[in-house]
């Protein structure tokens, strides 16, 4: 596929600006943030006058990608200030070089399409990972001005793989807004957990065998019962195995609580919901996309060695969203837009109702109680998980509603993953703030 001249110019500017990440070797984070803010304002107000030649849509007043790129660089610098600036520089390199490589390789070489996003190719994904990872390593090495340790190289390549994957998914949002922040947080968490040793419980052969057997049996049962598709059963078995291996059977119990309660809520009143046009497709059967969307973030948290409350809160957000949507579709009388505060039809993406919100809070609270009963969190964690789960589910409603107001359609599966991500972050923030007696800032005092 031919790349138009405007796209070549766009990618040249995209990568060229990425070279400015090297200046973080010398710049104070405050000055760096000020320059990033200036770039954001330039892209907002000056580029529409002088730079439309690199816009994908020359008729548009502003280019979302160009604005989002500068905005995300500013966010990374503010989040990762002081001693973590090299991580900001590394993720900036992934944005600049990985994204450009993905476009060039994907369009020139083409190749097989990604199963989760037919608009993108494996060639582009691998180009993003390879070039983005190498660029991140080189920039990180330059900014830190010290020899690289093998573990740092491994963490950056894992981060680049995550970045490439997140950029490849369909979200309905600009890629710059989707991939950079989760990648930066994952790199920080990997650095913390790997520095303190292996973050997972040591596996034993009987434990691995039991995890394989239990998940294989349950996958077969749920598939034969028509609760999941074949792809959903296989995906569920894989994530179930990973949860047992990296977390434990207690975490696995939370997974099954989510699955069983979510399935009951989906099946409950299915005929009435079908008549209203708000029922889940395929008679509520879960597919592989559902599994990844709802459980992908919780599994990633376990793989990263995050605190148990983050895993529980992520699942609580997924359950709150599922229960809230299903109950709201049945019993919600007057759903409203969470940002425009006006009535919307039942089943409108982003609409919230009293019945759905109360049901979602109850579901998240139940997940907190179970996490406490399993010894994963303290009694205080019940309230944290309930609050974080509800906030995560409401965050999805807000972004759906904002997107609808601006003529954008947020991908449903991406939105489900987003609410689990928000739920986990909110739980970690609340827990850390309560423990420290003050608002927790990830890099305060660095």
pLDDT in tens, 216-241: 999 999 999 999 999 999 999 999 99
Q: How far apart are CA 293 and CA 417, in angstroms?
A: 5
**Res 131: pLDDT:** 97
Tell me: pLDDT of 85 over 60.
yes
Q: Are 317 and 254 in contact (CB under 8 A)?
A: no
Q: Which of 195, 224, 246 is the last residue of a domain?
A: 195
Summarised one tens digit per residue, pLDDT across range 364-376 is 999 999 999 999 9
Averaged pLDDT, 22-26: 96
Domain-embedded: residue 64:
yes
Residues contacting residue 114 through CB under 8 Å, at least 6 positions apart: 120, 121, 122, 125, 168
Q: Say what percent of the chain tops pLDDT 90.
A: 62
- Work out whether the CA dihedral 88, 89, 90, 96 comes out positive or negative: positive
**Res 198: pLDDT:** 66
Q: How far apart are CA 101 and CA 297, in angstroms?
A: 26
Q: Are 109 and 125 in contact (CB under 8 A)?
A: no
Lowest mean pLDDT among 5-14, 105-114, 428-437: 5-14
**Res 351: pLDDT:** 86
Summarised one tens digit per residue, pLDDT across range 43-55 is 999 998 888 888 8
Which residues partner with 343 through β-bridges? 336
Q: Name the CA dihedral angle for 388, 389, 394, 400, rounded to a multiple of 10 degrees.
A: 110
Q: How confident is the model at residue 442 (pLDDT cuts 50, 70, 90)?
A: low
308-331 and 379-405 are packed helices; what angle lies between their axes, rounded to 10 degrees?
60
Q: Which domain holds residue 398?
A: 205-436
**Res 175: pLDDT:** 85
Summarised one tens digit per residue, pLDDT across range 133-167 is 999 999 999 999 999 999 999 999 999 999 999 99
Tell me: pLDDT of 106 over 80.
yes
- Work out whether the CA dihedral 287, 203, 183, 151 comes out positive or negative: negative
Closest CA to 262 of 205, 327, 190: 327
Q: Are 237 and 355 in a shared domain?
A: yes
Q: Are 250 and 172 in a shared domain?
A: no
Q: Which of 146, 164, 195 is the last residue of a domain?
A: 195
Q: Are 154 and 219 in a shared domain?
A: no
Other Cβ atoms closer than 10 A to 23: 13
Which residues partner with 97 through β-bridges? none
Q: Are 100 and 153 in a shared domain?
A: yes
Other Cβ atoms closer than 10 A to 372: 17
Q: Are 184 and 224 in a shared domain?
A: no
Q: How confident is the model at residue 307 (pLDDT cuts 50, 70, 90)?
A: very high
**Res 445: pLDDT:** 47
Q: How confident is the model at residue 430 (pLDDT cuts 50, 70, 90)?
A: very high
Look at 444 and 233; give whichever has higher pLDDT: 233
Domain-embedded: residue 200:
no
Domain-embedded: residue 264:
yes
- Any idea what DSSP says for residue 94? I
Averaged pLDDT, 252-271: 90
Report how many domains make up the chain: 2
Lowest mean pLDDT among 159-163, 202-206, 359-363, 382-386: 202-206
Tell me: pLDDT of 249 over 70.
yes
Q: Which of 195, 226, 246 is the last residue of a domain?
A: 195
Q: How far apart are CA 413 and CA 418, in angstroms?
A: 9
Domain-embedded: residue 445:
no
**Tokens found for residue 39:** 């770039």
Q: Are 151 and 68 in a shared domain?
A: yes
Domain-embedded: residue 172:
yes
Domain-embedded: residue 212:
yes
Q: How confident is the model at residue 276 (pLDDT cuts 50, 70, 90)?
A: low
Q: Are 183 and 230 in a shared domain?
A: no
Look at 295 and 57; give whichever has higher pLDDT: 295
Residue with tokens 């390879």: 130
Q: Are 176 and 262 in a shared domain?
A: no
**Res 282: pLDDT:** 63
Q: Are 394 and 253 in a shared domain?
A: yes
| 445 CB burial (10 A radius; 0-12, 13-18, 19+) | exposed
Q: Are 189 and 213 in a shared domain?
A: no
Alpha carbon separation from 395 to 315, 320, 324, 365 (Å, rounded): 15, 11, 13, 17
Q: What is the DSSP string of 227-291?
A: SB-HHHHHHHHHHHHHHHHHT-HHHHHHHHHHHHHHHHHHHTTHHHHHHHT-SPSGGG-B-HHHH
Average pLDDT, the chain: 90
**Tokens found for residue 278:** 């708000």
Q: Are 106 and 98 in contact (CB under 8 A)?
A: no
Q: Say what percent of the chain tops pLDDT 70.
A: 95
Domain-embedded: residue 443:
no
Domain-embedded: residue 446:
no
Tell me: pLDDT of 1 over 60.
no
Tell me: pLDDT of 446 over 50.
no
Q: Are 48 and 136 in a shared domain?
A: yes
* Strand ranges for 77-163 from DSSP E: 113-114, 117-121
């Amino acid at each position: 596929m031919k790349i138009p001249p405007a796209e070549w110019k766009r990618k040249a500017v995209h990568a060229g600006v990425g070279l400015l990440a090297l200046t973080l070797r010398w710049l104070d984070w405050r000055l760096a943030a000020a320059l990033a803010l200036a770039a954001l304002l330039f892209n907002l107000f000056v580029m529409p006058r002088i730079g439309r030649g690199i816009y994908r849509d020359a008729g548009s007043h502003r280019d979302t990608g160009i604005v989002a790129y500068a905005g995300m660089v500013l966010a990374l610098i503010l989040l990762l200030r002081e001693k973590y600036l090299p991580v900001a520089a590394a993720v900036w390199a992934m944005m600049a070089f990985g994204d450009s490589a993905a476009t060039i390789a994907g369009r020139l070489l083409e190749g097989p399409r990604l199963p989760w996003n037919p608009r993108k190719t494996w060639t582009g994904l691998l180009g993003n990972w390879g070039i983005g990872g190498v660029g991140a390593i080189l920039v990180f090495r330059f900014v830190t001005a010290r020899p690289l340790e093998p573990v740092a190289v491994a963490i950056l390549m894992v981060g680049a793989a995550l970045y490439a994957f997140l950029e490849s998914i369909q979200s309905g949002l600009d890629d710059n807004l989707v991939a950079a922040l989760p990648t930066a947080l994952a790199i920080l968490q990997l650095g913390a957990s790997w520095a303190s040793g292996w973050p997972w419980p040591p596996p034993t052969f009987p434990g691995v065998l039991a995890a394989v057997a239990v998940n294989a049996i349950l996958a077969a049962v749920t598939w034969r019962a028509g609760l999941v598709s074949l792809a959903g059963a296989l995906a569920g078995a894989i994530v179930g195995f990973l949860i047992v291996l990296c977390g434990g059977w207690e975490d696995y119990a939370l997974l099954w609580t989510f699955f069983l309660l979510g399935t009951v809520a989906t099946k409950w009143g299915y005929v009435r919901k079908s008549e209203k046009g708000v029922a889940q497709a395929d008679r509520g059967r879960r597919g592989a996309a559902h599994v990844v969307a709802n459980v992908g973030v919780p599994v990633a948290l376990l793989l990263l060695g995050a605190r148990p409350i983050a895993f529980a809160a992520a699942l609580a957000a997924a359950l709150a969203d599922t229960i809230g949507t299903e109950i709201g579709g049945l019993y919600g009388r007057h759903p409203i837009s969470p940002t425009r505060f006006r009535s919307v039809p039942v089943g409108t993406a982003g609409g919230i109702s009293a019945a759905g919100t109360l049901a979602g809070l109850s579901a998240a609270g139940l997940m907190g109680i179970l996490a406490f009963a399993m010894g994963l969190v303290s009694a205080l964690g019940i309230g944290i998980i309930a609050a974080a789960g509800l906030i995560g589910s409401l965050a999805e409603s807000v972004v759906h509603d904002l997107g609808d107001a601006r003529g954008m359609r947020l991908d449903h599966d991406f939105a489900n993953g987003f609410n689990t991500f928000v739920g986990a972050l909110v739980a970690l923030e609340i827990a850390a703030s309560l423990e420290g007696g003050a608002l927790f800032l990830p890099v305060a005092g660095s």
